[in-house]
Structure 1
Amino acid sequence: MSTVKVNVKWGKKKYEKIEVDLAEPPPSSNPSSSLSPRRDGQTPIKVKNNATFMMMGSADSLPEAPKHETKFLEDMTDTEAAAALSLPTGIENFGNTCYLNATLQCLKVVPELRSALGSYHVPATRAELMDTDTASPQSLTRDLKMLYLMMESGQDIRIPSMLFLHTLHAVKPEFAHKDEKTGSYKQQDAHECGRHGQ
């Protein structure tokens, strides 16, 4: 006889005539009881037909499925990772422009500068924009305000500062010097950049 019918008592419930295949290894737990397998404590015994087994222990609550799908950092885009980690938007480096990026990011949190930029009128039309001298301090202010607005939009983890860099080079040509051998911008000092920006 390879199968027998048994009864199982667990708490106030009784499960009758449960078919057990003696050729199979014992189940890790009764599927109708939700008793954790680690708490089963089964002992090998000879099972007879119509035997009653008493199970003791409390049922663990079943784990719930996560409300939101888990997304791992390595599966995220730069923008998603920045949002998940609450990273501030940075400025992209264009070869030895880290002095400028560091200065701009430090100045971004100065309340007086933020207030002044907030009240600065940015040219709204293309004609107005074309009337602004590229090498004027006003164009530097305009491009700084636009750069900060792009950073605050939160659309990218890195913002290219090429427009601001071009305007800075027009207004302050000493920052536009290039290395003769490499053709990239010469290394500059963040302190000098901040001092010239006054």
Structure 2
Amino acid sequence: MGCRYMIADSQNEPLCRAVLESPPDAAVWRLRVLDGGLSRVLEHEVVNLISTGENAPDMTGRILSSNRKDVLEVEPADLLGEALRQNLRVPVRFDSFLYPVSGTWTGRVPVVCHDLSCGGIAFFCDFPLQLGEVAEVVVPITAQPLILRAKILRRRPSNSAVPLYSAKFVDMIHDQEVLVREAVFSQQIANRDAQK
């Protein structure tokens, strides 16, 4: 009990965060909703429940009721795959640096983040990077700034004169995954609220 969840709609648009107050094997889950997001959740019949914990399942759930102002009862329905976590992606801009791991260059290279997901990062970088090389990238928007290893996957089309690269995080430990997942979800909520 006490596992943190991110609640999204069926299109994976973020709604709010919540804490599971019942056992994960219960027939009905009791979730304490955070972020004042209960009214947003109650607009839906089915939601995606994405765990930030290692041993808690990701589920779709059917909303049953809300007995108090911040408690939601949900009937867990189907397990969600790991791909859902990896695909949580948010446009976000921040300045950062790359450090070489497998490349032949030395020092640090400035980059500007284009978007961040639980599985990787896209960034603008004026330095020529080799596909397949591994570098460390600083991610400053998590609760605690992280230095993560990322493998350069491809160069993406862009309207900018500065090349845009996509990279996949590698060798992440669970605590790093949780911090990135929470940062991505929080940024999605902030972006959604800013658009309103």
Q: TM over 0.5: same fold? A: no
TM-score by length of 2: 0.24
Greater fraction helix: 1
Q: Which structure is larger by alpha-carbon Rg, 1 or 2?
A: 1
Structure with higher strand content: 2
Larger RCO (CA under 8 A, 6+ residues apart): 1
